Chain A
Amino acid sequence: MSEFWYAQPAYENRRLEQIDSKPIPNFVQNFKLGEKDFINAGKASAQIKLDLKQLGVNPIYLRRVAIASYEAEINITAHSKGGRITSKYFPDRVHIVFDDDGPGMGDIEKSISPGYSTADELVREMGFGAGMGLPNIIKNCDILHIISEEGVKTFLEVIIYFG
């Protein structure tokens, strides 16, 4: 099992407070994702963006949330046997959890390096597999946490603050 943490410097000290203490969100949305379901992939992230828009979140943050969430949603669709998204809404942030049914990543550090991809031909034909998914998530989130067990599953969570 391997684990990876990333936090923008300004948010480094909030990691424990926001993740480990399991704060209770204002409301939660759950989504299911199917293996290689490229017809429906992206719907969950579009819904999350819409929810936040309706809550009055500034478009700058909507864009960051949509990109980070969409990249993670595509990763589950393209690489896993299916999975789930849980989106937790707080007044000052959104916390989105992605977990899948495997097969997991052997080496997270390698997977986050720009240009690294294990995408198959089908996925590449769709315009994915450039190896920029995880780097794009890092670029658009404030806190990222990944736990992956090779042959078993991947758990990924992001937090994005609204200002």
Chain B
Amino acid sequence: MKLNEIVELLEADLLFEDVDKEKEITCAFGSDLISDILMCTKESTLLLTGLTNPQIIRLSDMIDLFGIVFVRGKVPPQEIIDMAKERNLPLISTKFTLYRSSGILFNSGLRSCKI
């Protein structure tokens, strides 16, 4: 599934434009617990989360993330967006909940990452 399809399906906003919208995303994982994210993502993954602190971007230095979807209408502060820009890590914000966002993407064919 392409990044721009995800933005459309989640009626979401890309938090900065300079990203590859044609990027192919193969799987996703959703959590608000950092240790679970570390433990459960063994391949490149799209992360859905409600966490908006710097550590959520720092995570992408440890594990491979395609991008981050902030759920429940969360938008991180500008310094977090800048951190993601430096890493070329797409950020998306949707007003949908984690449950609803995951359901929409799963039903549209985006599988769960291998855990």
A and B bind: yes
Majority SS of interface residues in chain B? helix
Give the size range of B's interface with the partner.
10 to 19
Q: Are B53 and A130 in contact (CB under 8 A)?
A: no
For residues 67 through 94 of chain B, which have their beta carbon under 8 Å from a beta carbon of chain A?
A: none
Known: A41-B55, A46-B58. A128 touches B63 (CB 8 A): no
The distance from the CB of A55 to the nearest CB of chain B, in whole angstroms, is 17
Q: Are B51 and A126 in contact (CB under 8 A)?
A: yes
Known: A42-B61, A45-B62, A70-B62. A127 touches B38 (CB 8 A): no
- A-B Cβ contacts below 8 A, count: 65
B62 partner, pick from A66, A128, A133, beta carbons under 8 A: A66
Q: Are A38 and B53 in contact (CB under 8 A)?
A: yes
For residues 109 through 137 of chain A, which have their beta carbon under 8 Å from a beta carbon of chain B?
A: 126-128, 130, 132-133, 136
Q: Report which A residues bind B (CB closer than 8 A).
A: 38-39, 41-43, 45-46, 49, 63, 66-67, 70-71, 74, 126-128, 130, 132-133, 136, 139
